[in-house]
Amino acid sequence: MKIAIVGGGIGGMMGALYLSRKGHEVTIIEKEKRLGGRMNFVERDGFKIDEGPTIVLLPEMFQELLAEAGISKDQYELVLCDPLYTIRFNDGKVYTKYPGTERQVEEVAKVFPGQEEGFRRFMTEGSQRFAIGKSAFLENSFVQKKDFFTPGNVKNLLALKPQLSVKQLMSRYFTDERLQLAYTLQALYIGGDPFSAPGMYSLVPFSEHEHGVHYLKGGYASIVPLLEGKLQSLPNVTIRKERTVKRIITENGTAKGLELESGREEYDAVVFNGDFPAVSSLLPDRKSKKFIPSSACVLLYFGLDRVYDEVNVHQFFIGNDYAKHMKAVFSDRQKPDDPAFYTFHPSKIDETLAPEGKGVLYTLIPVPAGSEVDWANEKEWIDGIIDRMEELSFPGLRDAIEWMEVRTPADAEAFGLFKGGSFGIGPTLFQSGVFRPQVKPFNTKGLYAVGASVHPGGGIPIVMQGAKLLAEQIERDLLSERRGS
């Protein structure tokens, strides 16, 4: 088949690799000057730091999917973060997470005495839920809704506790509100509200202990040139950058090709790899569906004249009222007054990111998507975040800053992210699993989709898994078509 992929994000690149290995002729059409989508570096004066994702979760899945696409383990290096990260609460309490169970039990006993048995139950039951979730949901698509609503699948779904929020589920293990928070904030990794995201997303904090939090040496975005180099080596793959698709051409319920500024191009199948709600702009005859966006972020990038060796690579700082922060982000859609935030200081374990003796630092503050906040005029608010960083963990930070860059939800929306949300559509109950857009999202022959807003969801390894599901679906459809003829 002759297949066009609209967008060269991770889903599009991995999809192209899988499809090319099946013998298809694949063309990636990317509007930007580079591939990778939201995986990119901020680079300046010999410094570089990941612009988007930082934490590598599910390392075995990550490595297996890359291997299936033709990228071997010896082409990149994953580094286990040990400790995983630190959470600093507003009352001064500090909770550190570690790989595995036993060291974490010791930490729970030290910081939250009396909660140890709850943590052990969380890990035991999390292991059972993870096995169910991976095989029943991550590794399957649900193009036909009837394939999902079987007695076995409904039983599996109920085992993941979707009727409970992550917060409600964690309250069954921990009585201390701070420890509950420590195992719910991970819903923010995919732009979800920890107070309302379905309990199935508790698999994320379980996986951190079970599989570890890893760092990709050289930065997460260094995977992009690796994938691009592999694609360029394949005779049946074409990459075209700085090309804008104006329309996906459909006739009689079948995708026929694309309309570009240069004219019409015919294809046997079309894959959309933008943020999924934007597909409606390329299908003017299709009524757009209403989606709830994920949370957005204000991102601060720093080049520093030093490395803070005494801090952990990943840290979370909790404000005075975490529930109020989440309400501002997900309900009120207002700027949070006293927000929690996350810092990433990879220079502690990777000297390749900055000139000798210097370092990089990244700060992420969850904020609302689709709000009316004029982020360009919030310098005082940003200065307040920097003051807190300096006070709580990075002494002398202001003097250490050689340069700083800021990215806001307005920048994300201009790039093409739905309402400026950073993680695709939100992981609500009715935007998860069978209810999320699928790799074959419409009853249109030859039209497919992949990316963070498409099942199985956000997070780099999960988007990669989505690309595998995409290739499998195209193969199934091609086989069905051959049998029918």
| Residues annotated catalytic, as ranges | 208
Cα 153 off chain centre by:
25
Here the tokens at position 194 are: 């920890």
Whole-number Cα distances in Å, 64 to 43, 164, 273, 282, 365? 30, 32, 22, 34, 32
Residue with tokens 């599009």: 12
Contact 97, 111 (CB under 8 A): no
Question: Which of these, 204, 157, 164, 163, lies nearest to 184 by C-alpha position?
Answer: 204
Question: Which of these, 480, 18, 66, lies nearest to 273 by C-alpha position?
Answer: 18
Backbone angles phi, psi at 177, to 5 degrees: -60, -35
Handedness of CA 156, 161, 166, 170 (dihedral sign): negative
Question: Which of these, 88, 38, 62, lies nearest to 294 by C-alpha position?
Answer: 38
Name the 3-class secondary structure at 167.
Answer: helix
CB atoms < 10 A from the CB of 287, how many? 6
Name the 3-class secondary structure at 272.
Answer: strand
Can you state the angle between helices 116-133 and 203-211, rounded to 10 degrees?
A: 100
d(Cα 51, Cα 38) in Å, to the nearest integer?
7
Q: At 183, which amino acid appears? A: Y
